[in-house]
């Protein structure tokens, strides 16, 4: 199998089977989903701008789209196949239970952590409400400052993004102050930020460590490549090991050995009732 390093070479026939960091690049192997993945990222990197992200915050942060319990939201993901995911090609609800069970095995004393594993991708429900997948799925990155080289497909997908040529936005700090903290940084819009906003709006009881996992688990340039540290404050650095710990289960529980979801629902309903009870506003 051919192996390339994405930060240096783009091969249209290469696809990551497992997203392992090797040196400063990502190890990719050949596969057959690359056209779908590359197209999703091309659209994302063209249209995710400061203006677009602010527009999406206005549109979604009010959580006035529907009312639904968390388990129903999880199971609705059966209708969705993530167009940015090169590892697997089955519905997201299976990945939710796989991730949660992986965490449960290694962290049996941390119920909130297990629940985060279950719900971390639920923000992808936006794709079922007519949001294009390039504004829902995939890796995230800050807007309003220089797009770093560790962003997937960085070299050839930002050419039409107006912010990349705007001197207000294309410097190392852009619109931000040094060590301003990720709370003050506009991330590309997607399921991470949306679910975080839903958790805050509904006053769910997941601790700050879990909220960071939800909000930044797709921020690979940060937690896997060490970029954007110049924007981080002490709180971000304290939370980074938790995001890294979560990432182990998010990536390496994706297998075709699918869990018995019906048998697991009883246990995970009890966690939902404890941390995200009742009918939530989305």
List the binding residues for Fe cation.
95, 120-121, 191, 217, 250
Residue 147 DSSP class: P
Q: What is the DSSP string of 148-198?
A: PTTSTTHHHHSTT-GGGG-TTTSSSSTTS-TT--GGGS-BPPSHHHHHHHH
Known binding residues: 95, 120-121, 191, 217, 250
- What DSSP letter does each residue of 226-275 carry, written as one string? -TTGGG--HHHHHHHHHHHHHHHHHHHT--S----HHHHHHHHHHHHHHH
For 109, phi and psi rounded to 5 degrees? -90, -5
Interatomic CA distance for residues 181 and 112, integer angstroms: 24
Q: Which residue has the tokens 């969705």?
A: 80
CA distance 103 to 98: 9
């Amino acid at each position: 199998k051919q192996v390339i390093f994405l930060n240096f070479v783009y091969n249209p026939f290469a696809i990551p089977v497992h997203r392992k960091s090797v040196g400063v690049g990502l190890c990719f192997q050949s596969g057959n989903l690359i056209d779908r993945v590359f197209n999703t990222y091309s659209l994302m990197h063209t249209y995710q701008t400061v203006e677009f992200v602010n527009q999406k915050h206005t549109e979604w942060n009010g959580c006035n789209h529907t009312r639904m319990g968390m388990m129903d939201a999880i199971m609705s993901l059966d209708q969705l196949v993530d167009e940015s995911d090169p590892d697997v090609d089955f519905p997201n609800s299976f990945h939710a239970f796989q991730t949660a069970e992986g965490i449960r095995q290694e962290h049996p004393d941390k119920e909130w952590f297990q629940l985060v594993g279950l719900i971390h991708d639920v923000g992808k429900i936006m794709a079922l409400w007519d949001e294009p997948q390039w504004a829902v799925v995939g890796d995230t990155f800050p807007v309003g400052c220089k797009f770093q080289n560790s962003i997937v497909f960085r070299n050839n997908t930002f050419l039409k993004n107006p912010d990349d040529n705007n001197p207000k936005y294309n410097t190392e700090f852009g619109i931000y102050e040094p060590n301003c903290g990720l709370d003050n940084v506009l991330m590309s819009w997607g399921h991470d930020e949306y679910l975080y906003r839903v958790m805050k709006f509904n006053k769910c009881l997941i601790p700050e460590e879990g909220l960071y996992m939800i909000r930044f688990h797709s921020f690979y340039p940060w937690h896997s490549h060490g970029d954007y540290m110049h924007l981080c404050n002490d709180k971000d650095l304290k939370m980074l090991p938790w995001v890294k710990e979560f990432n182990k289960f998010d990536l390496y529980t994706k297998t075709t050995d699918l869990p018995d979801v019906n048998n697991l629902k009883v246990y995970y309903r009890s966690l939902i009732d404890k941390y995200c009870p009742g009918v939530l506003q989305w």
